[in-house]
Structure 1
Amino acid sequence: MMKIKRDLMMIDIDGTFVFNSSEVAKKDLEAFNEAKDHCSMAIATGRSVKEIEFIEQENNITLDYKIGFNGALIVDTHGEIIYDRPIIHETLVELIDYLAEQQIIFDSLDGKTRFGNFAHEAQNQLLGLEYLYLEDPYSMAKSKKIYKVNLRPDSFESANKITSELKERFPSLSIFQVGKKRIEISAANTSKGLSLIKIAPSDGETIAIGDSENDISMFKEAKTSYCMEHAPEYVRAYANYTVPRFHDAIDHFLQRKEQKVT
């Protein structure tokens, strides 16, 4: 008899499940499989769904939901699209013109490839996705259906400045500063938190595990949330618990679940 899973666990990729952004550690993979016995499992990331599928295949796991581009695309375990929201073309053109004017290094994701004028050095972190380097990516970016744009400022101070300017100039876009030198931009009404609301069970617990600013929205919506201890203090402040690694979060969650039963 199939066990009914009433709980939903939503996990981030980089710095969380894929701690080094290239491969899943053995203990974290074992912890995932333990959690899957109790929960429906979702990965929510700024990356593409194609990269999530690469993680599934490489680690022989099956997800119930794949959430790409910080919530702009949600796909279920059967490949059915639940939500699909690329950046509106007119807004995209304005954004690309701004990047060209300011000479900001960036790359874009259309769901199939990643391309831009950012010289990506860590090929092992692309997770099966083709990267196309272009000295002039502006026309190509304007011509495609783009789900997410990553900006690559050269310093933390520059990232802060650009993030503030973007939020003022493009209030309809979802904009997250991730780490010290990356800004992620997706369509309006997209976030991991909104994705959690869309797929959350009506009568079960929701658990979120992450480490970045783009995880705050799912920390807010989840009943129980875990943040990696390497995250910035302001991100950790939104989570219920702070843990060293993904498997520590799973251990704690399963212990709490067992205590409730007994």
Structure 2
Amino acid sequence: MIKYIFVDLDGTFLDSNKQVSKDCVQFIKDLKKQYDVHFGIASGRALTSLLPLVQKQELDEIIDVIVANNGAEILDWESKKIINLPFVQKEEIQIILNTFQNWKGLTICFHNKNKLFASRTTERILGIQRFNNEEYLSNPLKNNSYLSTPRVMLILDKPVDEEYVKKIRTVSFEGLTSCRSENDVYEFMNKETSKANGIKQYVTQRDSSLDEVMVFGDSDNDIEMLKECKLGIAMKNARPMIQNVSDDITYKTNDEEGVMDYLLHHIDLFERVIEG
């Protein structure tokens, strides 16, 4: 039986307007009450941007855990305890900076203790700063006061330039892994950090395993959890590469409440709570 459901947010649980319907929230609330199931978020977003969203969309009523920063941070919602998986260390950040600082068409940026470091100041970077409620903007090529970070991001000026992305993919660093998390974002993380490992960390502490986990996703940074968890469900709106590694595909897109619709069709996956 499935005991845990984890959903990616952007392109999966959220619609194109970054909203979740009240019907969907109520459905998950009822599902948790009637069946022996826990509900979590597995997102590439930083906790600083996730927490306001959770409150605004009233997801605090349904979530048990947040796996943030592609697995680098795991927040147990009830205890508010945060567990960290390995970060990208300062020396590794500097190697990435040295490698990409002269590449045209991208900005290198990363979060560090509620501050955003970025190699260029662009509207996209300022938007990330506002989105994450960070204190100030600083160029890491001139200011090396940063320490470790969950991930180093390359923000692309032209997100649809697939040849440029292919060129980035040829670059690798010892001890790090990489993925494309959004159309215009390519990022590097510690090789032990992923959404799948973040989920595994959470469920194993509860004497469970990935064999009891169902996940929904749509992007490259969801591939590992789609492959490693018992049931990996790709969204109808996901790219073919993502759908090809999944166990199944939703019947509807994220703009059509695809997650809720799929769960309604497969309610037999869960064990009903016996009251009394």
Whether these two folds match at TM > 0.5 is yes
One-letter amino acid of the structure 2 residue matched with residue 71 of structure 1: G
Asked if structure 1 preserves the Cα contact closer than 8 Å seen for 2:111 and 2:117, the reply is yes
In 2, Cα distance between the equivalents of 1:143 and 1:93? Answer: 10
1:211 counterpart residue number: 218
In 2, Cα distance between the equivalents of 1:137 and 1:68? Answer: 23
1:251 aligns with 2:261: yes
The structure whose RCO (Cα within 8 Å, separation 6+) is larger is: 2
1:158 aligns with 2:164: yes
Asked if structure 1 preserves the Cα contact closer than 8 Å seen for 2:7 and 2:216, the reply is yes
1:173 aligns with 2:158: no
2:179 aligned counterpart, secondary structure: strand
- Give the alignment of 1:76-155 within 5 angstroms: 76-77=76-77, 78-103=79-104, 104-110=106-112, 112-116=114-118, 117=120, 118-120=122-124, 123=127, 127=131, 129-130=133-134, 132=136, 136-140=139-143, 143-153=146-156, 154=158, 155=161
Change (3 A) 1:33 1:10: same
1:197 aligns with 2:200: yes
Change (3 A) 1:24 1:149: farther
Asked if structure 2 preserves the Cα contact closer than 8 Å seen for 1:108 and 1:141, the reply is no
Give aligned pairs, total: 254
- Which range is displaced more, 10-19 or 171-180? 171-180
2:97 aligned counterpart, secondary structure: helix
Q: State percent identity of aligned pairs.
A: 21
Which ranges of structure 2 fall in alignment gaps of 5 or more residues? none
1:226 counterpart residue number: 233
Which ranges of structure 1 fall in alignment gaps of 5 or more residues? none
1:242 counterpart residue number: 249
Asked if structure 2 preserves the Cα contact closer than 8 Å seen for 1:17 and 1:28, the reply is no
- Which range is displaced more, 80-89 or 31-40? 31-40
1:11 counterpart residue number: 7
In 1, Cα distance between the equivalents of 2:168 and 2:241? Answer: 19
- Which range is displaced more, 26-35 or 66-75? 26-35
In 2, Cα distance between the equivalents of 1:44 and 1:108? Answer: 19
In 1, Cα distance between the equivalents of 2:248 and 2:18? Answer: 25
Change (3 A) 1:61 1:259: closer
